[in-house]
Chain A
Amino acid sequence: MGNVMSASFAPECTELKHEYDNCFNQWYSEKFLKGLSMENECSKQWYAYTTCVEAALVKQGIKPALDEAREEAPFENGGEPTDNSG
């Protein structure tokens, strides 16, 4: 833990990820957990980071498998498989 933060799967996004993580972690502890936040903050850092990640997902060929998993276990469903998961 401490200040060591995990890298991004795409090295070119790691710095942007660290900027976002810094902001998010602070927001999470200081606002969300205390019930003080009504919105997901850090949008500026988020936009820069997620733009980088989206491109890398396509570039590294991860997108198709990800889309399939998203269909199987939707975000809106909390990641719960919709049905017949096995």
Chain B
Amino acid sequence: MKLFQNAQEFNYPWDQVTAANWRKYPNEVSTHVVAVDVLRRELDVSGTKLTSERLITCEQSIPKWLSMLIGCSNRSFVREVSVVDMNAKTLTLKSCNLTCAHLLKVYETVKYLPHGSDPEKTLFQQEAQITAYATISTLCNRIEEWSVKRFDENASKGRQGFDSVLQVLSENWEHRDKLVDELSTKVAGTVDEIRSTTDNIIKKTELKSTSLISHYSREIKRAFNQGN
């Protein structure tokens, strides 16, 4: 677990800052925030404490291989619960990511409170607790699992392909032996004819194996492209 802390001042009174908080997005800086929704909102009986639950939608492009690997997409969601307390003069926002929470959890607490001596200023305090559940070995295991699965799929395809190549080759091999036998008994000089027959057999074998390899290479490529 890692802790992140930050404190700042805003040159606006606290009540204005809290009103602006509801209109914070969209803004030019945080373009990754694409939507903000209110899921629940309640006012306490005294009418001085307002609690809101919001869903913040972010879109940030992450490398495709990474999103494939960790199983998270470009779109992510954050849940935020905020409390505006008019008596204590505080606005507290607590948020946590919903997406990828099995790998990484970021609990953020933001607090806005009036500046102690200057009523025209607001203090901003931020704290984030970051906990990573994914270790390098977890990620490595996932790469391995994925690779083994793909390898297994391709291996069985490759096996089928190679089997048929071997079959063609062995059939022709027997045939070739037969031709050689005939050749040695006849002793006649039709060398060219035999060579051309042998050439044909070899070409036929080549052709068969090339088409098989190109067929399966397409399969292999497709399998990898799915993951890219």
Which residues of A sit under 8 angstroms from B22, Cβ to Cβ?
Answer: 21, 24-25, 28
User: Is there an interface contact between A75 and B81, defined as CB atoms closer than 8 Å?
Assistant: yes
At the interface, yes or no: B216 with Cβ under 8 Å from chain A? no
**Total contacts A-B at CB 8 Å:** 123
CB distance from A41 to the nearest CB of B (A): 9
User: Is there an interface contact between A25 and B19, defined as CB atoms closer than 8 Å?
Assistant: yes
Which residues of B sit under 8 angstroms from A6, Cβ to Cβ?
Answer: 25-26, 33, 35-36
User: Is there an interface contact between A79 and B47, defined as CB atoms closer than 8 Å?
Assistant: no
User: Is there an interface contact between B131 and A75, defined as CB atoms closer than 8 Å?
Assistant: no
User: Is there an interface contact between B55 and A37, defined as CB atoms closer than 8 Å?
Assistant: no
User: Is there an interface contact between B19 and A78, defined as CB atoms closer than 8 Å?
Assistant: no
CB distance from B21 to the nearest CB of A (A): 10
Interface locus among B95-103, B114-122, B166-174, B197-205: B95-103
Complex formed: what's the CA distance from A39 to B19 in Å? Answer: 17
CB distance from A3 to the nearest CB of B (A): 9
User: Given B23, B43, B57, which contacts A5 in the complex, CB threshold below 8 Å?
Assistant: B23
User: Given B27, B37, B51, B55, which contacts A75 in the complex, CB threshold below 8 Å?
Assistant: B51
User: Is there an interface contact between A4 and B37, defined as CB atoms closer than 8 Å?
Assistant: no
At the interface, yes or no: A58 with Cβ under 8 Å from chain B? no
At the interface, yes or no: B77 with Cβ under 8 Å from chain A? yes
Instruction: Name the 10 nearest CB pairs between A and B, nearest first.
Output: A79-B81, A79-B94, A86-B131, A40-B43, A65-B98, A9-B57, A9-B35, A6-B36, A38-B47, A6-B25
18 contacts between A and B (CB under 8 A): A8-B37, A17-B38, A25-B22, A32-B47, A33-B15, A40-B50, A50-B38, A53-B37, A62-B77, A66-B55, A68-B101, A69-B79, A73-B107, A75-B42, A75-B51, A79-B93, A81-B107, A86-B105
Binding site for B on A (CB under 8 A): 1, 4-10, 13, 17, 20-21, 24-25, 28-29, 32-33, 35, 37-40, 46, 49-50, 53, 57, 62, 65-66, 68-70, 72-73, 75, 78-81, 85-86
